[in-house]
Structure 1
């Protein structure tokens, strides 16, 4: 097993799948992690190259994470990189936002990142590997009605910076990537809600997501994947603790 091994959480669709394709094309052995084995397998079969694997994982469960990393290590050997991509979004006015929803935003989007990093660090110290945490422009500026999501993603950036300092002597680079609104199922679902609840046209719904982007369009998943690919192998190790915005100039 000479090819480097990367585990990607939430790797079955959207940004995660795009990252998997980019890294597989770059010669990585990819382990896709997520809750649905069927969805992961469907994505795995489309990846270039061979030697890829899937593991079932719920990033809101510490036990599930421990088992999944053990399975990935047994099947593919030690990790050379970890991409924490799994995430969920729930929106609403803070005054009426349910505590259960708040806790889920933190469990999946923040605590899951912490637990996955813990699970990977023994391998990454051995391989001098890389960690890339997928955050959001919501970690850099915030948006109305996304208080829980923004809080969690701000936490991811803070965690990334602290962990980068902790691991710098070991030669492990830790960075966050912060996409703006990206052309994924989550955004398309948000558009559908706007069209349904507010009677907007598809073009009007799309504009509500693109108006803050100076390029006036959604970010493409492959644009995010290309930055992650670079950070995982080609970026100098001295690039660490950064939160890189991929937002068409929305955040500078």
Structure 2
């Protein structure tokens, strides 16, 4: 009897994580879902055709990553596809970034993904199979004003991906990042609200401003990011890459 492989998606309650979790389930994975909102996780689980496990929690809390993996392994076994999607963004001039904001951005966007990757790798190496995909950002490849903490964290995340991929080459474990531009998600809606509050622009004009950062002239669809994530999951010869999904903003 063939046992379906196991995937774990962080930040699975909405946006890119939600779409990716459903896609993995459609592809035959048993999918463990984690995010802070129990309600959102239940909604996502109800849209997955396959078996799911919901583990609500904040992965930046001490011990949360270990508990997440221990719960998944106890229920099913070794995670062989890990999607590191949980993240957050704030906006402020560099001189106004507080120590608390800096620690939070590094914690959720870099430290928590590192802890998940570190916890997943031994099991993947043992079975000789694993796919790790981090959702980074175009901010991992260039600097933009007013998002210094977020940019620093995402640059670090891409560096982690590249180093881990080099270290794990030949083990059957691949590590990649996808680097979206502005995606039509609740995180971008929060950015729109910030622009409206700080500049007085209308919501329509604020969305148009962010859409214009992609040369194709629109926001990226979450499904388009999920396409790239699934490409990484399905591609054993692709590792150490930061794949742009940005409508041509940064040409590799």
The separation in 2 between residues aligned to 1:238 and 1:62, in whole angstroms, is 35
Q: Using the alignment, how far apart are the partners of 2:217 and 2:98 within structure 1?
A: 33
| Matching residue of 2:248 | 249
Aligned CA distance change for structure 1 residues 36 and 173 (closer, same or farther; 3 Å): same
| Deviates most, 24-33 or 6-15 | 24-33
Contact 1:7 1:32 in 2 (8 A): yes
Q: TM-score, normalised by structure 2?
A: 0.95
2:111 maps to 111
Please tell me whether the aligned partners of residues 5 and 81 of structure 1 are also in contact (alpha carbons under 8 angstroms): yes
* Maintained 8 Å contact 2:22/2:44: no
Q: Which runs of 5+ in 1 are unaligned?
A: none
Partner of 2:175: 174
| 1:128 corresponds to | 129
Aligned counterpart, 1:21: 22
Match of 2:194 in 1: 193
- The structural deviation recorded for 1:30 is 0.8
Structure-1-length-normalised TM-score: 0.95
Separation in 1, partners of 2:152, 2:71: 32
Distance in 2 (CA, whole Å) between partners of 1:57 and 1:119 is 17
* Residue 232 in structure 1 maps to residue 233 in structure 2: yes
Structure 1, residues 44-75: CA drift from partner, whole Å, max 9, x if none?
1111x221111133221341110111001111
Q: Does the CA contact (< 8 Å) of 1:79 and 1:127 recur in 2?
A: no
Q: Distance between the aligned counterparts of 2:5 and 2:217, measured in 1? A: 37
Distance 2:41 2:229 in 1: 20
- Cα deviation for residue 80 of structure 1 reads 1.2
For these two proteins, the number of residue pairs brought into alignment is 249
**Residue 100 (structure 1) aligned with residue 87 (structure 2):** no
CA shift for structure 1 position 203: 2.6
Q: Is the 8 A contact 1:80 1:127 kept in 2?
A: no
Partner of 1:71: 71
CA distance in 1 between partners of 2:34 and 2:95 (Å): 34
Mapped contact 2:36–2:58 kept (Cα < 8 A)? yes
Say whether the 8 Å CA contact 2:180–2:246 is kept in structure 1: yes
Distance, in Å, in 2 between the alignment partners of 1:175 and 1:3 is 22
For residues 145-224 of structure 1, the aligned pairs below 5 Å read 145-224=146-225
- Residue in 2 that maps onto 1:90: 90
Q: Give the deviation of 1:127 after TM superposition.
A: 4.4
Ranges in structure 2 where 5+ consecutive residues have no aligned partner: none
> How much does 1:208 deviate?
1.6
C-alpha distance in 2 between matches for 1:62 and 1:154: 24
